Amino acid sequence: GMPKSLPARAAETDELVRGGFAYWGSVSWDVPNGVVIHHVEGSPTRGSWPGVDNVRYFEFTDEGLLKLSLKNEEGRTTGTLTWRKIEE
């Protein structure tokens, strides 16, 4: 997950993280349609993202994975991020 110090660090510096992206903010769920909306409040790597709503399409697999996908205007999936809960 996001380091707890990231919002404060972003406010104190102009540094950019290379090879990735990060943002924080609240989320809204539209469960019947499989949509989660990330309401971006800040980002140390994407200066144009604060104030933007990032729409992601989600699904839970039978294997216990959470998949978050991006889709283009035609509805084609253009990228997927897969999360797995690690049991300790």
CA nearest neighbour of 43 among 57, 29, 26, 25:
25
pLDDT at residue 60 tops 60: yes
Q: Which residue has the higher pLDDT, 25 or 18?
A: 25
What residue spans define the domains of the chain?
A: 6-12+23-84
Q: Which residue has the higher pLDDT, 14 or 25?
A: 25
pLDDT score of 57: 95
Q: Tens of pLDDT along 28-53?
A: 999 999 999 999 999 888 888 899 99
- Give the integer Cα–Cα distance in Å for 41 and 2: 14
pLDDT mean over 70-85? 89
**Which residue has 């972003």 as its token pair?**
10
